[in-house]
Structure 1
Amino acid sequence: MQEKSSIVAENSTHLSLNIHKGKSKVLKINTINTSPIVLEGELLQEVDDFTYLGSIVNKQGRTNADVKARIGKAMTAFLQLKNIWSSRDLSFKTKIRVFNTNVKSVLLYGSETWRTTVTTTKMIQTFINTCLRRILQIRWPNTIGNQELW
């Protein structure tokens, strides 16, 4: 990794590009070598996880942190549309279309890189069902199965 980093730094200077050592981070996955990476005499910071293009990448390759962050962002999008969900002028069909286009798209952004596990699927489905129950104004005392939401 040290060799490759040095080659990238050397070739980038030929193109008048500079690597900012303060912004550069190192994430080592499945490696035995624990020696630090040095660029032009400066040590690069090692991290356990970081955000790349809106997705959280970590050493273990797990996606739970990213899924939780996505659910939080989707909940923010859902709450910003509170006036739409409480509107009596819009049909439920229109509200569901707004939900699918504005909330689900935020929720599932980057999901193609997630590992599909039972836990991940349950977390996402629970969030979607909770939102649909709020949109359809189904309160907790009412017994309606999840299949009937769809």
Structure 2
Amino acid sequence: MGRTISQKFNTAFLQDTNKLNKFKIVLSNKFQAFHDLLNGEGTTVESNWKGIKEAKKGDLSNCVNYRGITLLSIPEKVFNRVLLNRMKDCVDAQLRDQQAGFRKDRSCTDQIATLWIIVEQSIEWKSSLYINFIDYEKAFDSVDRTTLWKLLRHYGVPQKIVNIIQSSYDGLHCKIVHGGQLTKSFEVKTGVRQCCLLSPFLFLLVIDWIMKTSTSEGKHGIQWTSRMQLDDLALLSRTQQQMQEKTNSVAAASAAVGLNIHKGKSKILRYNTACTDPITIDGEDLEDV
């Protein structure tokens, strides 16, 4: 706890000595509250740690472009770092090797390089290859929280930490900025919080479970079954039938946790294939590119 509170003080905002001292005093006052929560002496997170959401993105006349942005207080950011440090090491060892998003010593560049090598080898050896680039619709906002709490326990996260995280989401409300004014608040019952330190980690568990569930029955096609960068998935197969089966399986597992595949943004790549039958989701063809 002490290491977390003392880290990253050398920021632009905290170069001012007076601001730095005031900041340390605030954190010190919250230290006991953090300690009580982590030791199971309390499971209720202060309401002002939960933040407010403001929806703003893209064309403001189109509601589809709106996203919630969670404005967290500094004490909650520090506390979330403590929780993340206590969870990530034991959980990381259980995640699939194909997942590179928000993991130590892994990067999107490695995933791109691996995928490029697979494509090059397919072209060189004239072997068929299907790639389905899957995109989720409002991924962070759609996760079913009841399932998320179960997955945290499934991956071995201590119950007291699960209770703390769940408490931080209980009673979470959102306000919309319209015409320079805030609307009345309304409760948000699904999804993980945008701009929260824990959200990528929580979402990793959801995606990992989806892929483990949807690819557990048998091995299809080439050795590399998929490449993953958080919620950006690339399914790989050698035949149209195998790709359709994988796509159906991933779509079903995703729906079970509240996620929907964006049919308009998911794309199919084909190399050295004679079959032109489309890959579909719920009867809708995915575009070939």
User: Shorter-chain TM-score: which interval?
Assistant: 0.3 to 0.5
Structure 1 or 2: larger strand share? 2
- TM-score w.r.t. the length of structure 1 is 0.34
- TM-score w.r.t. the length of structure 2 is 0.21
Between the two structures, name the one with larger relative contact order (CA 8 Å, sep ≥ 6). Answer: 2
Structure 1 or 2: larger helix share? 1
